[in-house]
Chain A
């Protein structure tokens, strides 16, 4: 890709410079550190907007009592019932049952603990149905040496 054709967006990598292969004037590829290519930022944002939409609809369903707060935590952790089942070591149908408030409200502490561990929330938050932010929102950027 020619150097001139590029436009940038700093947002999605939090200022992190990634490197890509860019052909110089002589056609030779060099490694050039830069921000993410602009079209990538657009499609990345599109993917996140879709996730946000799902999170909002999950919140709405919790508010009307159709699903348990577990559904919110699952959606905001970008998981589905299959992946959550794998992470918690339970069959998928069981996880699906836990999405229903009737069954969720009757869960034993040890089962709740499996979700506590994976979502990094307290057991009380789960029982009271508090909706905390997801794991990726509490990130810290650190570098060594």
Chain B
């Protein structure tokens, strides 16, 4: 069996990237993988519906982090999607026989080891399979404290889950990795891509503009949708922001951790200041979540209104815009 070291992480995709790289001898933390992969994002896309509710995302598209890692010079990544389930499972077994830990994209709904309350039809989950015992696969699922097992039949179903972001049996593994990662340029590139998405996009629904757009919409939900539906929409935003896999504060705390680690790596004090500003943006997101949870539970205090929540989100936008403008200026100073 492959001697694969499982490390628990907050977010599945960056956790898988970090675990796979660590297996190849490159020690990298999850937060660093998240930052280098340019994982932070904001998008409010009301025309895409999840269970009838608008798509809100605080992270980049599924697969973005891994794709960026695959593009780093010196790192070779094998990626494949399949049409047939049998072929996909056969290729997984072949890779395991060759002692290669394999990353998979799966749906969450079909994984029996997931807590019941989190089994929604979410298809962009990532995990690493590192062995097979009888009919069970041994899995290092980064959001779990320890390794887990999954029967082959369920894993096959999870790999071929249908719906939005269908994984189509996607599997990937590292074919080569350099002795040492030159982190400086990767950190700078990672920050650059996030700044570009948050500040310089022309689309009004993503980045800082997207945050403000959502605040504007959120304010009108009670009038437009009625109280019950407005509360459902609100709960959905909070779930996307805080539920399993975000590390808290809609990935803002994870990105702050990345900035802190980068500050140590590059010996640059200013990154620490940006990290603490981003942490206060994350705290603001959490205050919004607390207020929203009270409203959803019908325990609203005086002042817990949709208007107040929209204000809170505007404050988040203001704080984040400041951080990313400073980061952009910092980028210009870099050699």
Contacts and interface: CB of A to CB of B under 8 A. Distances in A.
A133 B144 CA distance: 26
A22 B30 CA distance: 14
A105 interface: no
A1 B286 contact: yes
A7 B33 CA distance: 29
Interface stretch (A63-71, A93-101, A121-129, A136-144): A136-144
B231 A29 contact: no
A18 to B, nearest CB: 6
Contacts of A21: 10, 31, 247-249, 253-254, 256-257
Contacts of A44: 117-118, 239, 243
Interface in A84-135: 86-87, 135
A60 interface: no
A contacts with B: majority SS: mixed
A13 B235 contact: no
A18 B118 CA distance: 12
Which bracket fits the contact residues of A? 35 or more
Contacts of B100: none
A47 interface: yes
Contacts of A37: 242, 248
B51 interface: yes
Interface string B273-290: 001100100110010011
B116 A40 contact: no
B149 interface: yes
Interface of B: 8-10, 30-31, 51, 109-110, 112-121, 133, 136, 138-139, 143-149, 162-163, 166, 231-232, 235-236, 238-239, 242-244, 246-249, 253-254, 256-257, 260, 272, 275-276, 279, 282-283, 286, 289-290, 292-293, 296-297
13 contacts: A20-B246, A20-B253, A27-B279, A40-B239, A42-B293, A42-B297, A43-B236, A78-B109, A83-B162, A86-B163, A87-B162, A144-B138, A145-B138
